[in-house]
Amino acid sequence: MSEVLRVEGLRFAWPRSPWTLEVPSLVLETGDRVFLHGPSGTGKSTLLNLIAGTLLPQAGAVRVAGEDVAKRSGPARDRLRADHLGIVFQQFNLLPFLSMVDNVTLPCRFSTRRRERALQRFGSLEVAARHYLAALGLGDAAQASRRVIELSVGQQQRVAAARALIGGPSLVLCDEPTSALDTRNRDQFIDLLFAECEAAGTALLFVSHDLSLAARFPRQQALGELTASAVESREALA
């Protein structure tokens, strides 16, 4: 196993806000599956954005695939994100006037690494996209060409999940990825997520407040426990 993510001494605060996110240590290795939970407003989404490099910490370090995210230029962070991270955002961030297939294949158009991995496994990007869409219950051939603006919220969420998985990224970040899914589609999504991460050796950091999902993960972490340990460390030094 190799290290995919290392967070050390992380500190982040929004301007003019008394709230501070502090994570002293978080490490994920190849194939790890971690369920991160905590009440709304505790910084779960902020932590994912720091890992993705769309936010930068005020202190500490975030390393993805061995690279210190904050020490790379903006374009270099974009390349690192495209090569190594699959992300299911709360707001999905799909391109509304593209088809489902075109949205799913987008990471492979920005990352040579993921494009080559998808082609090696499936032979073509379209076949790869249709594989993930079918596994998530969106396999109708005519439907796959529909623009995502025509889809329901639950369908859009599944398209976003397929986009995150294509090309076998090193780490998949999921931010409340089952919030718009019914029980059947939620379970189908989790099954696919685990199977694809295992097949590609992908690590998974899954953020949710739905504790009914926690038992399916071999490792569970409350964000409050991470931040509490940071407070205790400061108090011990005081």
Which DSSP state fits 72?
Answer: S
Average pLDDT over residues 151-179: 91
Closest by CA to 194, choosing from 216, 163, 169, is: 216
Spatial separation of the C-alpha atoms in residues 45 and 63, rounded to whole Å? 17
Instruction: Determine the distance from the C-alpha atom of residue 89 to the mean position of all C-alpha atoms in its chain, rounded to a whole number.
Output: 7
- What is the arithmetic mean of pLDDT over 40-59? 90
The rounded distance, in Å, linking the Cα atoms of 195 and 165 is 11
By mean pLDDT, which of 27-41, 97-111, 224-238 is the weakest? 224-238
Q: Which amino acid, residue 101?
A: V
Residue 171: what are its φ and ψ, rounded to 5°?
-145, 130
* Pick from 19, 15, 26, 3: nearest CA to 226: 26
Compute CA 228 distance to the chain's CA centroid, rounded to the nearest angstrom. Answer: 24
Task: Please state the pTM of the whole predicted model.
Answer: 0.88
Q: Give the rounded percent of residues in the chain with a pLDDT score beyond 90.
A: 57
Q: Domain holding 49: CATH number?
A: 3.40.50.300
Which of 2-6, 169-173, 182-186, 203-207 comes out lowest in average pLDDT? Answer: 182-186
Question: In one letter, which amino acid is 171?
Answer: L
Burial label, 162 (beta-carbon count in 10 A; 0-12, 13-18, 19+): buried
User: What is the spatial distance between Cα 108 and Cα 199, in angstroms, rounded to a whole number?
Assistant: 18
| Residue ranges making up the domain that contains 68 | 3-237
Give the amino acid at 77: R
Structural domain total, the chain: 1
Identify the burial level of 215 via C-beta atoms within 10 angstroms of its C-beta, where 0-12 means exposed, 13-18 middle and 19 or more buried. exposed
Question: Any bridge partners for residue 33, and if so which?
Answer: 204
Q: 94-129 pLDDT, tens per residue? A: 998 899 999 999 999 999 999 999 999 999 999 999
11 sits in which H/E element: strand 3-13
